[in-house]
Structure 1
């Protein structure tokens, strides 16, 4: 169940040049920034994240990564919270999300449904024969196939080297692109 007892999902939006912007950040600061954006959107915080809650959602809330984000101007210290500055303009506000959820709820109550979009057939489905399992939400990029399951060579997935897991997923995804 989502916020206010309804089943819902929020989205975090990153521009195409987001990784270019992150090029000079350390891996930890990059990860922390993305985690903060996702947490803020999930909890409808309008890019204001509580300092005391960071251990609940941040995989690596190390002080040096926080300092790095503050020093480069991507975050601002706001007393008991941090304000996310970088990429905040791409995120929907709490008010916008709640308004959309309300409109969706009203449409469902009136029997209106979203139009079903037909998905384009991949040129080569030999890599993935689970097309009937995809739900059309746009989650067909890197990181989906191995998420929480196993690596492509059949080895159990561990948290020992998440970068290797992601790199393998990304390589496979790139090979599938036209």
Structure 2
């Protein structure tokens, strides 16, 4: 007896794929023209390459996962983990929103203490050493956490279907 994927599981998988695919395309569109800004040092080029790599993984992983290949789901699963943390300090700044982000953000800077919620569709990314702003903020991107839970279930469903 073989099982077939449930319509809701298929819809969720396709929705995640579309979100990551669009986010990856927008990310490359935003990043590639800025290559000249990152040629000042080997570290800057490496950081730029990591951000481009994230977007390539989003695009290729979403294509594979759309075709219901577990490997694509695994790629998106691990990519999602790289999009969870959001932080800025005087030494390092990092965030990666590929596709969709909802980020409760705690700001701790002189004269501006409080919480914000950032909503983003498209792409936003930063990986900087010694950013110029003297702010401190912490946040968690909630959308990738949701995607991690959904993708892990979808991968388990697909693995169960393949084993039957």
Q: TM-score normalised to the size of structure 1?
A: 0.28
Between structures 1 and 2, the one with greater helix share: 2
Between structures 1 and 2, the one with greater strand share: 2
Larger Rg computed on CA atoms: 1
Q: TM-score normalised to the size of structure 2?
A: 0.30
**Higher RCO structure (Cα 8 Å, ≥6 apart):** 2
